[in-house]
Amino acid sequence: MTLQFSLGTAAPETVDAACVLIGVYEHGVLTSAAARVDSATDGLIKRQVESGDISGKAGSTTLLFAPAGVAAKRVLVVGLGAQKSFDSARFQKVNLEAARVLGKLPLTEAVSYLTEVDVPGRDHAWRVRVAALASDHAAYRYTATFKPRDKSKQPELGAITFAAGDDAHAGLDQARAIAEGVRFARDLANLPPNICNPAYIAAQAQAFAEGKDKVSCKVLDEVEMDKLGFGSLLAVGRGSVNKPRLIVLQYQGGNEGDKPYAFVGKGVTFDSGGISLKPGAGMEEMKFDMGGAAGVLGAFVAAVKMGLKLNLVCVVPSVENMPDGDSYRPSDVLTSLSGLTIEVLNTDAEGRLILCDALTYTAQTFQPHTLIDAATLTGACVIALGKHATGLMSKHDDLAAELLAAGEATLDRAWRLPLWDDYQAQLDSGFADVANIGGKSAGAITAACFLSRFTDGQRWAHLDIAGTAWDEGRKGLATGRPVALLVQWLLNQK
């Protein structure tokens, strides 16, 4: 179910809703909405605070059912933490936690007054957008299930009204578009790899483009790529019966002749490691190795939904990396589309081998204004930054600053790692122009150094989303990152 968003200005004590959400800080400090509800209920909120039932701790919730004096059937009191240190990240957190609680209640709609809470440096539009996206993230359910559904399921949350005036409409419109893009990315990445293979991703891209005047889709198969010289990409896919695809989406929202912005996303639909086979434990999570593809496709969907006044290209190299009698091997030497030769030292460093050809193709074909790739590229990035920050690498300080700022604005944050030439020597090869791995140290950086060999002359940045594209564990789901970051960056290009 897609969560519906709207704006409202009714008072919290008079609105007739299944549930209203109000905030309370620590030490019993009430927000304006909480104070109004407290007054209408003859001091109920303050009494709950005094009794300790409402702590105000950030993310805590207390549900009050049918309190006398208000029209709503329920009041959900959400803890905001200490007022003095309240910030953007905590605002996102409390909205996320509130939506998770709402999702467990037997209701279909709610009205949130959390968007009235002051967030230093953020306007109403930002608050509504972040609250809506946090709510949508919490409300997401993986519905392409392969087990019987429970027909006696309770009602599901389907709509949230946010307390805000007309100045928040832009934020709400952006939230709707970004939420659609994030859901597109999450749905695609969560699918099992026996369904979501390169041909399936291509079909989804074609289906999205169909009937849209400003959108076109082109798909290259393995025969066409072989003729063009995609030697590196095709080598990775040799061991699988699911043949590679190069998916090219174009959106002409700007002036004819304007250079497009370009996104490239790694689309390895399952990564066994190839001949350099991965350990069995956790290998099931390698269906998420197309998280970069899902992310850039989701950002493309959101940009089209917004009708951004710019030209955008989205290129997805998609393969399955499997061991087979025809698989590429460690010590193979590949000739890439750029003409550079690559010594394969590890077949599990395959993402950079498909990206290098896709980056070359994108640069040569479209001469983009800016080229950004997103990829679940290295475990080293997860070790360095954990699951919270995307790794960002670029030789262009201005572009890196733009992407970092977009991440801060959306709370889809990135952290810049160096891309100094000092690291390039780790990729030296005695048998080819470059090796595909650089040894144990600085693995995320040397992977980006490898990609930089194929982006000469381009205004380019690399996003390593290996830690941020999905949540770990047997029930972990795709996050839809970095859709919000990329879309905000596009919005800032106006």
- Out of 278, 395, 416, 459, the active site residue is 278
CB 317 within 8 A of CB 264: yes
Q: At what angle do helices 291-306 and 483-491 cross, to 10 degrees?
A: 40
Question: Which whole-number Å values give the CA distances from 152 to 101, 109, 142, 339, in the listed order?
Answer: 20, 19, 18, 60
- Which DSSP helix (H) or strand (E) runs through 311? strand 311-321
User: With the C-alpha atoms ordered 168, 171, 177, 178, is the resulting torsion angle positive or negative?
Assistant: negative
DSSP 73-86: SEEEEEE---STT-
DSSP 188-244: HHHS-TTTS-HHHHHHHHHHHHTT-TTEEEEEE-HHHHHHHT-HHHHHHHTT-SS--
Phi and psi at residue 287, to the nearest 5° = -70, -20
For residue 350, give the nearest of 341, 362, 342, 360 by alpha carbon.
342
Per the annotation, the verdict on 176 as an active-site residue is: no
Q: At what angle do helices 443-452 and 351-366 cross, to 10 degrees?
A: 30
Tell me what pLDDT residue 148 has: 66
Per the annotation, the verdict on 227 as an active-site residue is: no
What would the pLDDT profile of 41-75 be if each residue is shown by its tens digit?
A: 999 999 999 999 999 999 999 999 999 999 999 99
Report angle CA 467, 60, 172 to the nearest 5 degrees. 65
Q: What is the pTM of this model?
A: 0.97
What would the pLDDT profile of 176-226 be if each residue is shown by its tens digit?
A: 999 999 999 999 999 999 999 999 999 999 999 999 999 999 999 999 999
Residue 469 CA to residue 241 CA, distance in Å, equals 26
**Would you give the distance in Å from CA 381 to the centre of its chain?**
16
Tell me what pLDDT residue 144 has: 75
Amino acid 208 reads F
10-residue mean pLDDT series, the chain (494 residues): 91 98 97 98 98 96 97 98 98 97 96 98 97 97 73 83 96 98 98 98 98 97 98 98 98 97 98 97 96 98 98 98 98 98 98 98 98 98 98 98 98 98 98 97 98 98 98 92 98 91
- Out of 183, 186, 243, 352, the active site residue is 352
Residue 378 CA to residue 301 CA, distance in Å, equals 26
Tell me what pLDDT residue 152 has: 57
Unique residue bearing structure tokens 């077949």: 347
